[in-house]
Amino acid sequence: MENIILIIHVIIAVLLIGSVLMQSSEGGALGIGTGDSALMSSRSASNFLTKFTSVMAIFFIITSISLTIIHKKDKPTGSIIDKIEKIEEKNKTPQIPSAK
């Protein structure tokens, strides 16, 4: 299941990158340097590529969260320090007192 979601996640990532790169630049970051009409134009609001990018971003977030949840279920809980202490206790050999 994790592999299927990972493959879908990579495909969505490639589509998201492609859709962002194919969009035309409107000029001026966040509408700075352009008129009010260019910022709120109906052409940019109803553009197919804009809607496609939004849908791909939503799917990307959904697959990211689902991969995180699936991966978290597979991991055992506990600290790495606890594991090291258990290994040291198993490997501990009894010490023979030395004669002085």
96 is a domain residue? no
Which pTM does this prediction carry?
Answer: 0.59
pLDDT at 33 over 70: no
pLDDT for residue 84: 79
Q: How many CA atoms lie within 13 A of 91 on its CB side?
A: 6
95 is a domain residue? no
pLDDT for residue 3: 92
91 is a domain residue? no
Domain region containing 1: 1-21+47-72
